[in-house]
Structure 1
Amino acid sequence: MPDASPRMENDGDDMPTIEPSLEQLLVDHIAGTGFDDLDAQAVSCCKKLILDALGVTFPGRQAPGCPEIVDLLATWQTAQGASVFLSGIQAPPPLAAMANSAMMHALDFDDTLDASALHTFVNVLPAALAAAETGKKVGGKELITALVVGVDLICRISLAIDSPLSWIRTATCGGFGAAAAAAKVLGLDREQIFNALGVVYGQTSGNAQGLIEGRLVKRMQPGFAASAGVLSAFLAGRGITGSRRFLTGAYGFYPLYEQGVFTPSAVTEGLGAHHSIVDLSIKPYPSCRMTHSSIGAALALKDRVGPVDAIGQVDVSVSAMVAEMVGKPFEIGDNPQVDAQFSIPYTTACALVRGDVFLQDFEPRAITDSAVMRLADRVRVVADPTLPSKDILQARMKITRGDGTVARERVPVPLGNPQNPMNEDQCRNKFLKCIDFSGIEIQDAARDELFSMVDHLESLTDVNDLVRIMAG
Structure 2
Amino acid sequence: MIAAAPNTAGTTAVARLAAFAAAFRAAPAQPALDDARQRLLDTIGISVPALGTGPAAIVHELARTWGGHAQSTALGLAERVPAPTAALVNGTLGHALDFDDTHVPSILHPSASVVPAALAAAEACGASGRELLAAIAVGNEICIRLGNAGYDPAINNSVFFERGLHATSICGALGSAAAAATVMGLPEEQIAHAMGIAASMGAGLLEANRAGGSVKRMHCGWAAHSGVVAAQSAAAGLTGPPTVLEGRFGFFHAYCGETYDEAALLDGLGEEWATGDCFVKPYPINVFTHSGIDAALALRAKGLRPEQIESVEIGVPSPVLRTIAQPREAKIRPESGYHAQFSGPFTFAIAFGGGGGLGVYLDDFTDERVADPVLQDLAARITHVADPRCDEIFPRHFPSIVRVRLKDGSELVENVLTTRGTSERPLSDEEIMLKFRLNAAGLPGGADELGRRIADVASYDDVSGLLAGTTAS
TM-score (norm 1): 0.91
Query: Hey, what does 2:17 align to over in structure 1?
Result: 26
For 2:271 and 2:335, how far apart are their aligned partners in 1?
Answer: 43
What residue identity is the alignment partner of 2:28?
Answer: D
Aligned residue for 1:399, secondary structure, equals: strand
Q: Show the counterpart of 1:408.
A: 413
Name the structure 2 match of 1:443. 445
Instruction: Write the distance in 1 (CA, Å) between the matches of 2:39 and 2:305.
Output: 38
* 2:136 matched residue in structure 1: 147
Q: CA deviation at 1:450?
A: 1.8
CA contact (8 A) 2:87 2:224 kept: yes
Other structure's SS at 1:354 match: coil
Can you list the C-alpha shifts for 1:149-168, whole angstroms capped at 9, x where unaligned? 10000111111222441210
Contact 1:112–1:282 (CA<8 Å) still a contact in 2?
yes
Instruction: Give the equivalent residue in structure 1 for 2:374.
Output: 371
Contact kept, 8 Å, 2:169 with 2:222, in 1: the verdict is: yes
Structure 1 residues 76-87: aligned runs within 5 Å: 76-87=66-77
Aligned-partner Cα distance in 2 for 1:335–1:323: 19
Render the CA deviation track for 1:218-270: whole Å, top value 9, x for unaligned. 11111111110000000000100112111100011111100121211111222
Give 2:456's aligned residue. Answer: 456
Match of 2:123 in 1: 133
Alignment partner, residue 37 of structure 2:
47
- Residues 266-309 of structure 1: CA distance to partner in whole angstroms, max 9, x if unpaired? 11222111223322111111101111111111111123362211
Residue of structure 2 aligned with 1:66, choices 34, 56, 61: 56
Contact 1:193-1:233 within 8 A present in 2 as well: yes
Per the TM alignment, residue 396 of structure 1 is displaced from its structure 2 partner at its CA by 1.1
2:362 to 359, 363, 382: 359
Counterpart AA for 1:27:
A
Structure 2 counterpart of 1:38, from 29, 35, 46 = 29
Give the structure 2 partner of residue 156 of structure 1.
Answer: 145
Change (3 A) 1:380 1:334: closer
Give the partner amino acid of 1:462: D
> Does residue 109 of the first structure (1) align with residue 108 of the second (2)?
no
TM-aligned CA distance change 1:337 to 1:383, over 3 Å: same
Tell me the distance in 2 between the aligned counterparts of 1:48 and 1:394.
26
CA distance in 2, matches of 1:75, 1:281: 36
- Give SS of 2:352's match: helix
Please, which moves more after superposition, 251-260 or 228-237? 251-260
Query: How many angstroms does 1:185 deviate by?
Result: 1.1
Shift of 1:397: 1.0
CA distance in 2, matches of 1:66, 1:334: 21
What is the CA–CA distance in structure 2 between the aligned matches of 1:123 and 1:217, rounded to whole Å? 15
Query: What are the ranges of 5 or more consecutive residues in structure 2 without an aligned counterpart?
Result: 152-156
Q: Residue by residue, what CA displacement relative to the aligned partner does 1:405-431 show, whole Å, maximum 9, x if unpaired? A: 111111122221222111111111111
Paired AA for residue 466 in structure 2: L
SS at match of 2:310: strand
User: Structure 2: how far apart are the matches of 1:442 and 1:417?
Assistant: 33
- Tell me if 1:331 matches 2:330: yes
Amino acid at match of 1:310: Q
One of 273, 282, 291 as aligned partner of 2:280: 282
Q: Assess if the C-alpha contact under 8 Å between 1:5 and 1:265 holds in 2.
A: no
TM-score by length of 2: 0.91
The whole-number CA distance in structure 2 between the counterparts of 1:201 and 1:58 is 30
Secondary structure in 1 aligned to 2:353? helix
1:419 pairs with 2:424: yes
Is 2:76–2:471's contact at 8 Å kept on the other side of the alignment?
A: yes
RMSD of the alignment, in Å?
2.0
Give the distance between the partners of 1:20 and 1:133, measured in 2 at CA: 32
Q: Give the distance between the partners of 2:349 and 2:75, measured in 1 at CA.
A: 34
Unmatched segments (≥5 aa) in structure 1? 7-18
Q: Does 1:294 align with 2:292?
A: yes
2:80 partner amino acid: Q
Q: Which amino acid aligns with 2:42?
A: D
Identity, in percent, stands at: 31
Structure 2 residue matching 1:187: 3-state secondary structure: coil
Residues 330 and 376 in structure 1, CA contact (< 8 A), matched pair in contact too? no
| Residue type at the aligned position of 2:247 | G
Secondary structure of 1:467's aligned partner: coil
Report if the CA contact (8 A) 2:114-2:179 is conserved: yes
Q: Secondary structure at the match of 1:403?
A: coil
CA distance in 1, matches of 2:323, 2:404: 22
Instruction: Find the residue that maps to 2:320 and give its secondary structure.
Output: helix
Distance (Å, rounded) in 2 between the aligned partners of 1:59 and 1:449: 17
Deviation at 1:112, TM superposition (A): 0.8
In the alignment, the residues of structure 2 paired with residue 349 and residue 378 of structure 1 have an alpha-carbon distance, to the nearest angstrom, of 9
**Which secondary structure does the structure 2 equivalent of 1:470 belong to?**
coil
